[in-house]
């Protein structure tokens, strides 16, 4: 560097950067070559930014420079240089951009990186820490950069990646752009071989929209394949473009390539990945489509072209009908843009609807991977009909937990008189099938949707209706509507009808139970829904279901005391026995014990029993007594 230097300043990298650098420098990743992809991608971003500014009419230094990326290498000195004519950086910008990890979620990123070395390759780019990957191959890195801002001075940055870097302004002439010079490590000599560099660029950077030159030779093919007619694009090209776009290692599950002309022109090339993005929930930033106007990239990962619940979709949208100088800030309010985004959303939903109809097995695979994100769409009211048709649940009419049922399937199997869709929530299919609330539905042969995912409850609660059918939980269902429906099998009752007298005793027993439980229950009533179990808890009308209550409690919401009704099945052996005991002595301690036990067991089944100690103690005492009886000791 033969330039006048202004005061050189030394800075320490931020702690999380140091941690990251330490991992990158000391771990031997098999795919070190991706450092080149990252540097080229930064150069391309910088070129996109300057093109955007210049089409907008902003003042730009060296406006006539061709927009391009150049790669030079020196085998003897073991150096590699990547330069671009992009937006450049000022001293403040280089300190701000390189030296800290700006994006949220980066601390998690570092943890993930430590845990899964094999995945480092596709994680690095995703989390916006790409630049540092250069230290997998570099002994030392120098950056010279000149901002597009006419008054800015060129800057010089240098670091060996160990912990600190230096920056200074240069009193030299430099054209706009950035030059990154890498002194390669001894074990990274391969990156000065022309053939090797070419093949890396072909593999990872082929679709970069600016020319990449090695020794004056262009190495990438610049095509906007989303603009090509579908018939001329081969599956391999789509796959290659998809991998370039997403860093995914597997080809996509679906390719949606659309060219729409009216009322607004746009091309969309969209992909559904074969695997869900395991980082989606912790790194929600990482969704969105790339928005182009007349082939010029306007915005990476635009989040308004598709709603978040379709965030698993990757790809590109390009329109002729938006102005090139559109500002990203006002995009959302632009009428043309909002028409495009509505149409893109419709395209995706229609595509999924076709898939569900014509290829249910493939749709089931889609649902397994992306259903959890898709379900978030319950708040997209403008597309609610389409959304509802695409939802899937497990159901009592399915043979196992993996089969899927739609609302349409359910309603097509419904009983003639049935007007309501019923669902039950539980931790698993087995758990739901043992739920006493289902007994009446079983004896009537009424289908019940089984919900296992906590989100399902929110989904169902916010929908409430499918076509003309109400949706109700088996816990809160209006029993009058259920009772009206025919039984599939005659109720085989092993119990005699209660005599008039006993009827009276039975209702006094219920009152006695209520007085034992006091404020803990809203009431104790005879059950119409049970045909086997002795008791269950129900909430009246619009009350919260037990699972909803649990979710709210977990979220520390004060749900108040949701006291429920304890229902007692008179046609149950235990209850009949209790009735006899009660008739002999209404104050027999067994009544109190059994009532407490019935109540707490019902709470336990719902997952709402806070302290199991009393219940366990009571059971043990009962077992002790019954084993005594068994041995004839009493
Ligand atoms: P990301 O590209 O995801 O932002 P990187 O670690 O790859 O993360 O880059 C960090 C930042 O450094 C970029 O966002 C950009 O502001 C700046 N930068 C890197 N390379 C260049 C370049 N060639 N020209 C201009 N700015 C650059
Ligand atoms: Mg980058």
Q: Residue ranges of the domains in the chain?
A: 9-218, 225-345, 391-483, 500-630
Mean pLDDT of the chain, nearest integer? 89
Check residue 126 and give its pLDDT: 61
Q: Which ligand is nearest to the CA of 46?
A: 1
* Closest ligand 1 atom number to CA of residue 98: 12
Q: Please give the span between the terminal C-alpha atoms of the chain, in angstroms, as a whole number.
A: 102
Alpha-carbon span 470 to 460, nearest angstrom: 10
- Fold classified for 225-345: Ribosomal Protein S5; domain 2 (3.30.230)
Which tens digits make up the pLDDT trace of 172-211?
Answer: 899 999 999 999 999 999 999 999 999 999 888 888 989 9
Alpha-carbon span 49 to 66, nearest angstrom: 14
CA triple 474-478-480, angle to 5 deg:
120
* Closest ligand 1 atom number to CA of residue 43: 23
Q: Is the pLDDT of residue 557 over 70?
A: no
Q: What is the token pair recorded at 235?
A: 């599956």
* Residue nearest atom 27 in ligand 1 by C-alpha distance: 42
Which tens digits make up the pLDDT trace of 298-324?
Answer: 888 999 999 999 999 999 999 999 987
Mean pLDDT confidence for 20-34: 75
Mean pLDDT confidence for 143-163: 95
The verdict on the CB of residue 177 being under 6 Å from ligand 1 is no
Cβ neighbors of 247 (< 8 A, separation 6 or more) are 121, 122, 125, 126
Q: Is the pLDDT of residue 343 over 80?
A: yes
Give me ligand 2 centre to Cα 39, in Å.
7
Of the chain, the percentage scoring pLDDT greater than 90 comes to 63
Q: Is the pLDDT of residue 561 over 60?
A: no
Cβ proximity of 97 and 153 under 8 Å: no
Which architecture, in CATH terms, is 500-630?
Answer: Up-down Bundle (1.20)
- Of 18-32, 221-235, 367-381, 578-592, the range with the lowest mean pLDDT is 18-32
Alpha-carbon span 158 to 512, nearest angstrom: 84
Give me ligand 1 centre to Cα 516, in Å.
70
Region class of 315: left (phi > 0), else alpha (psi between -120 and 50), else beta: left
Just give the CATH number of 391-483: 3.40.50.11260
CA triple 150-169-72, angle to 5 deg:
85
* Closest ligand 1 atom number to CA of residue 86: 24
Give me ligand 1 centre to Cα 281, in Å.
25
pLDDT-derived band at 117 (thresholds 50, 70, 90) equals low
Check residue 261 and give its pLDDT: 92
Q: Which ligand is nearest to the CA of 129?
A: 1
Give me ligand 2 centre to Cα 100, in Å.
13
Give me ligand 1 centre to Cα 82, in Å.
13
pLDDT-derived band at 128 (thresholds 50, 70, 90) equals low
Kindly report the number of other CB atoms within 10 A of residue 465's CB atom.
Answer: 12
Alpha-carbon span 73 to 92, nearest angstrom: 29
Ion ligand 2: residues, CB < 5 A: 42, 130
Instruction: For ligand 1, pick from 131, 143, 157, 210 the residue to mutate: most ligand atoms within 8 Å of CB.
Output: 131
String of DSSP letters for 569-622: -SSSHHHHHHHHHHHH-TT-HHHHHHHHHHHHHHHHHHT--S--HHHHHHHHHH
Please, which residues bridge with residue 566 across strands? 524, 537
Check residue 319 and give its pLDDT: 95
Which tens digits make up the pLDDT trace of 214-265?
Answer: 989 999 987 889 999 999 999 999 999 999 898 888 999 999 999 999 889 9
Which tens digits make up the pLDDT trace of 365-401?
Answer: 999 999 999 999 998 999 999 999 999 999 999 999 9
Q: Is the pLDDT of residue 105 over 90?
A: no
Alpha-carbon span 49 to 67, nearest angstrom: 11
Which architecture, in CATH terms, is 9-218?
Answer: 2-Layer Sandwich (3.30)
- Biggest CA pair distance of the chain: 111
Residue 633 vs residue 67, higher pLDDT: 67
Q: What is the token pair recorded at 531?
A: 């045909």
Instruction: For ligand 1, pick from 17, 37, 45, 94 the residue to mutate: most ligand atoms within 8 Å of CB.
Output: 45
Cβ proximity of 98 and 241 under 8 Å: no
Cβ proximity of 280 and 376 under 8 Å: no
The verdict on the CB of residue 129 being under 6 Å from ligand 1 is yes
Closest Cα partner for 20 from 162, 119, 183, 143? 162
Check residue 184 and give its pLDDT: 97
Instruction: For ligand 1, pick from 20, 69, 97 the residue to mutate: most ligand atoms within 8 Å of CB.
Output: 97
pLDDT-derived band at 2 (thresholds 50, 70, 90) equals very low
The verdict on the CB of residue 138 being under 6 Å from ligand 1 is no
Cβ proximity of 37 and 45 under 8 Å: no
* Closest ligand 1 atom number to CA of residue 87: 25
* Strand 469-473 with 420-425, pairing: parallel
Check residue 123 and give its pLDDT: 64
Mean pLDDT confidence for 533-562: 72
Check residue 484 and give its pLDDT: 85
Give me ligand 2 centre to Cα 131, in Å.
6
3-state secondary structure of 536: strand
Q: Is 132 exposed, middle or buried (0-12, 13-18, 19+ CB in 10 A)?
A: buried
The verdict on the CB of residue 128 being under 6 Å from ligand 1 is yes
Give me ligand 2 centre to Cα 190, in Å.
23
């Amino acid at each position: 560097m033969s330039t006048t230097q202004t005061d050189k300043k030394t800075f320490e990298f931020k702690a999380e950067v140091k941690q990251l650098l330490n991992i990158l420098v000391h771990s031997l990743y098999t795919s070190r070559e991706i450092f080149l992809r990252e540097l080229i991608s930064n150069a391309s971003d910088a070129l996109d930014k300057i093109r955007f500014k210049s089409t907008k009419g902003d003042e730009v230094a060296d406006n006539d420079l061709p927009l391009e990326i150049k790669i030079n290498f020196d085998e003897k000195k073991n150096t590699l240089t990547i330069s671009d004519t992009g937006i450049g950086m000022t001293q403040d910008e280089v300190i701000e951009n390189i030296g800290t990890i700006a994006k949220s979620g980066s601390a998690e990123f570092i943890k993930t990186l430590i845990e899964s070395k094999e995945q480092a390759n596709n994680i690095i780019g995703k989390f916006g820490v790409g630049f540092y990957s250069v230290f997998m191959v570099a002994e030392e890195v120098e950056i010279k950069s000149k901002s597009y801002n006419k008054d800015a001075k060129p800057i010089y940055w240098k670091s060996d990646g160990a912990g600190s870097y230096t920056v200074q302004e240069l009193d030299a002439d430099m054209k706009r752009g950035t030059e990154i010079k890498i002194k390669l490590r001894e074990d990274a000599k391969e990156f000065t071989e022309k053939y090797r560099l070419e093949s890396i660029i072909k593999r990872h950077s082929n679709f970069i929209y600016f020319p990449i030159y090695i020794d004056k030779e262009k190495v990438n093919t610049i095509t906007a394949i989303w603009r090509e007619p579908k018939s001329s694009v081969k599956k391999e090209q789509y796959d290659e473009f998809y991998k370039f776009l997403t860093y995914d290692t597997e080809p996509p599950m679906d390719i949606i390539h659309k060219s729409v002309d009216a009322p607004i022109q746009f091309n969309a090339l969209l992909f559904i990945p074969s695997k869900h993005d395991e980082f989606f929930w912790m790194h929600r930033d990482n969704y969105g489509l790339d928005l182009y106007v007349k082939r010029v990239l306007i915005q990476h990962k635009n989040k308004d072209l598709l709603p978040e619940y379709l965030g698993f979709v990757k790809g590109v949208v390009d329109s002729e009908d938006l102005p090139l100088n559109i500002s990203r800030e006002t995009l959302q309010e632009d009428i043309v843009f909002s028409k495009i985004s509505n149409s893109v959303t419709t395209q995706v939903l229609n595509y999924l609807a076709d898939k569900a109809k014509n290829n249910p097995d493939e749709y089931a695979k889609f649902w397994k991977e992306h259903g959890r994100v898709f379900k978030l769409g319950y708040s997209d009211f403008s597309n609610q009909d389409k959304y509802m048709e695409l939802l899937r649940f497990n159901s009592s009419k399915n043979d196992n937990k993996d089969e899927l049922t739609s609302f349409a399937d359910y309603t097509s199997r419904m009983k003639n008189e049935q007007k309501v869709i019923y669902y039950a929530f539980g931790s698993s299919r087995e758990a739901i099938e043992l739920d006493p609330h289902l007994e009446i539905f079983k004896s009537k042969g009424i289908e019940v949707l089984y919900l296992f995912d906590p989100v399902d409850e929110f989904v169902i609660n916010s929908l409430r209706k499918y076509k003309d059918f109400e949706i109700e939980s088996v816990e809160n269902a209006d029993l009058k509507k259920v009772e009206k429906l025919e039984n599939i099998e005659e109720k085989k009752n092993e119990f005699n009808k209660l005599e008039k007298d006993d009827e009276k005793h039975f209702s006094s027993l219920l009152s006695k139970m209520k007085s034992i439980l006091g404020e803990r229950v809203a009431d104790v009533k005879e059950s119409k829904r049970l045909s086997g179990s002795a008791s269950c808890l129900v909430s009246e009308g619009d009350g919260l279901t037990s699972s909803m209550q649990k979710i709210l409690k977990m979220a520390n919401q004060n749900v108040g005391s949701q006291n429920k009704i304890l229902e007692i099945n008179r046609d149950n052996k235990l209850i009949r026995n209790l009735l006899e005991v009660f008739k002999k002595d209404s104050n027999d301690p067994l009544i109190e014990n059994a009532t407490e036990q019935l109540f707490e067991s019902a709470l336990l089944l719902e997952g709402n029993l806070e302290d199991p100690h009393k219940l366990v103690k009571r059971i043990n005492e009962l077992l002790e007594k019954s084993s005594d009886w068994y041995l004839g000791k009493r």
